[in-house]
């Protein structure tokens, strides 16, 4: 068993295909097939089931994938600790990000500062809904991710706090109010967006004993806001996720009582995090404390 085999296995699992994994790794498809077959023969189990268009992991393949990614993460940590002794001139950092708040308001300043200090670190950014980032952390697909806090399953560092706001069509009767309650948002068709804190939104309604009339589920923030602007429903979003311009067709109002949302960075286990990962945390906290974290 080699680290190369484990890396190929991890890529096949992530991309659900031999061809895509080969393209990502820059090797031939036959080399990918050979590596998987050799690994299966050595372990004595079938790791993947091959279908026409894609592959699926077997049950044991799913379990061993976590072990493989753990080993790959430890190997990368060893490489980076060695590189750190020489000035951290090389390495890889995989970041998970969700929604406009993390991807557009936080990441630009963080990446600019980090790349200037560590130009040799190769950075990969994966974007998905908030719960997808959490899953990626648990599966070790990323080294560090932006998450909604608190989350006791990770080692985390708070970065900022904003508030949840109701977003309604500008000509809606609720637009004349200074603040809105969760109950008032249950009287209209509700638009649930997967672009940000959908999990937090549903927890708020559940905790209040309310059930919104979910008529739309939008994967993108812009489509969510466009649906509101057309007058087709109302929604609940984090204030920092809203664009600073083009709010002519909808308005945002704070909740009463106000609900805060805390965003932070999280890792699965700080003790096993690579030097590149911990350096990213340090840079983020320095920018936070200096008031330079948010992009206007």
Fold of 162-260: D-Maltodextrin-Binding Protein; domain 2 (3.40.190)
How many of the other CB atoms lie within 10 Å of CB of 277? 26
pLDDT of residue 90: 78
254 pairs with which residues across the strands? Answer: 165
pLDDT of residue 217: 93
Q: Print burial letters for 148-159: b (CB count within 10 Å at least 16), e (below 16).
A: bbeeeebbbbeb
* Tens digits of residue pLDDT in 196-207: 678 889 999 999
Residue 128 and residue 103 in contact, taking contact as beta carbons nearer than 8 Å: no
> What share of the chain has pLDDT > 70, as a percent?
96
Question: Cα angle at 12 between 9 and 15, to 5 degrees?
Answer: 145
With 0-12 / 13-18 / 19 or more C-beta atoms within 10 angstroms meaning exposed / middle / buried, residue 141 is: buried
Provide the mean pLDDT of the chain: 89
The candidate with the shortest Cα–Cα distance to 272, out of 149, 137, 116, is: 137
Per-residue pLDDT at 23 exceeds 70: yes
pLDDT of residue 71: 87
Mean pLDDT for 148-172 is 94
Question: Cα angle at 274 between 271 and 279, to 5 degrees?
Answer: 100
Domain ranges of the chain: 1-86, 162-260
Assess if CATH 3.40.50.2000 describes domain 1-86: no
């Amino acid at each position: 068993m080699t680290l190369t085999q484990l890396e190929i296995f991890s890529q096949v699992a992530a991309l659900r295909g031999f061809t895509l994994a080969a393209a990502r790794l820059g090797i031939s498809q036959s080399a990918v097939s050979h590596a998987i077959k050799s690994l299966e023969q050595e372990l004595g189990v079938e790791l993947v089931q091959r279908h026409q268009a894609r592959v699926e992991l077997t049950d044991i393949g799913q379990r061993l994938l976590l072990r493989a990614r753990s080993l790959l993460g430890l190997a990368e940590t060893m490489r980076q600790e060695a590189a750190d002794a020489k000035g951290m001139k090389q390495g890889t950092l995989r970041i998970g990000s969700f929604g406009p708040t993390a991807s557009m308001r936080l990441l630009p300043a963080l990446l600019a500062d980090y790349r200037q200090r560590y130009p040799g670190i190769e950075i990969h950014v994966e974007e998905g809904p908030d719960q997808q980032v959490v899953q990626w952390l648990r599966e070790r697909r990323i080294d560090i991710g932006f998450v909604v806090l608190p989350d006791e399953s990770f080692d985390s560092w708070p970065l900022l706090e904003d508030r949840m706001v109701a977003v309604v069509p500008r000509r809606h009767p609720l637009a004349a109010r200074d603040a809105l309650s969760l109950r008032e948002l249950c009287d209209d068709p509700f638009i649930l967006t997967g672009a940000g804190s959908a999990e937090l939104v549903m927890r708020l309604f559940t905790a209040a004993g309310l059930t919104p009339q979910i008529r739309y589920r939008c994967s993108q923030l812009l489509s969510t806001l466009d649906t509101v602007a057309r007058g087709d429903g109302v929604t609940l979003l984090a204030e920092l996720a809203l664009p600073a311009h083009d709010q002519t067709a909808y308005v945002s109002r704070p909740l009463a009582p106000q609900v805060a949302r805390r965003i932070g960075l999280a890792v699965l286990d700080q003790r096993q995090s690579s030097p590149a990962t911990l350096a990213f945390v340090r840079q983020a906290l320095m920018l936070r404390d200096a008031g330079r974290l948010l992009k206007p």
